[in-house]
Amino acid sequence: MSKKNAVVITGLGVISPVGLNLDELLRSLSTATSGIKLCAAEPLSKLFPAGLISESFADNFTKLELPYLDRCQQMGILAARQAITDAGFDSFADYGQRAGLYYGSVKGGVATEQAWHHQLLVEGKQTARPFTAMAIMQNAGAAQISIRHQILGPVMTHGSACSSSGAAIGEAFRAIRDGYLDVAVAGGAEAPLTASGFGAFDGIRAAAMPDPSDVARSCKPFSSDRTGLVMGEGAAFIVLESAEHAQRRGASCFAALSGYGIASDAYHIGTPKADGQIAALRAALADAALQPSDIDYLNAHGTATKGGDEVEANAICSVFGARSVPVSSTKSIHGHLLGATSALELIITTLAMAESFLPATAHLDAIDPKCALNHIANTPLFDRQIEHAMSFSCGFGGTNVALAISKHREMPAKRRSVSVHTAN
């Protein structure tokens, strides 16, 4: 196991508020188009801004499958299928223990769980509907994907809050780099737009208020007039392979996953601390053998909470300097997908590298002086070559994850059928 394998990204898949596939996502990023809308969550009377996907996905599944599947798992299955197909796979049965699945989620099947609570407490039901237990499990998404694609190696679920899918991707990367696996599917899914989800974040005074002029502008990371986070739903997955394995089968790749850093604050269950974030960023740089000056773009965690943005800005400044690396938070258009957000933002970072542009933090009209960085404000920057980039995530409980990607020069580069130049 002493050999260190180069690891490449050969497939991407996404179901998000700003695109149900990669081309739709790229169009939204190129115009900084928001997918945030007002969302109702019975029995709450209050409306919340949310990264909302209007479509139902039930028609993609049979009547026999649906009882097992919360909306969270439905989106996870579809996004993972996109990534697997994009990479040129279908079944991994022939790989045996050499293929794995690494999954991140916070809430699991929360809509199904809330429905059962309503039946119990309001309707007086004494027994849940059949298969409820399978639909509410945190690892149900991973299990469903592994069954459909015959992934027989490690199938692991990570639950480190907002860094869940980032940790999942990082651990998949390590398993391939260290020779334990040839290929892995990694990412996460989340469908938290329920009364219990909104009420919980509203209870800790972290939820954003709807923007009075335009609800689509409700999420304002690093802005002086930010009011809190905006939850979102969706799923995002990537396929990772050793470069040697991908080359043998004639695959192309988007980028190399070159570094992974994970570190904990060990400070407070709900309040971040810059020390842990700094440690994660520096660990990812060291893992990739890069200097801070090598990074051409950083996709920040940027939740638009008052304290969180300040702490993160301090951490980024400590590692990169206040005016060095270009920074944006794309949560401004898709919201915070909790356990799936790391995977979505890594995909966005990967597309930015592949298509040579820098995504923007939308609605950043007035930068908070306490969050002074090299912000890409309001409008994406095009024709910007990216050799190395990072995606950064910080979770409640203090788990921080940084992922570094780099251009891979030894394999054909993979691009989308819609480029930012035609999408813009």
Residues forming the active site: 162, 301, 336
DSSP 8-state secondary structure symbol assigned to residue 250 = T
> What is the residue whose two structure tokens read 């027989």?
152
In the structure encoding, which two tokens stand for residue 60, read together? 């993609």
Could you tell me which of 136, 114, 51, 40 has the C-alpha nearest to residue 344? 51
Degrees (nearest 5) of the Cα angle 238, 239, 240? Answer: 115
Pair 376, 325: CB distance under 8 Å: no
In the structure encoding, which two tokens stand for residue 56, read together? 């139902």
In the structure encoding, which two tokens stand for residue 83, read together? 């990534």
Query: What contacts 310, CB < 8 A, 6 or more positions away?
Result: 368, 370, 371
- Distances in Å between the alpha carbon of 130 and those of 77, 181, 346? 21, 36, 37
Residues 220, 54: Cα–Cα separation, whole Å:
22
In the structure encoding, which two tokens stand for residue 47, read together? 């409306």
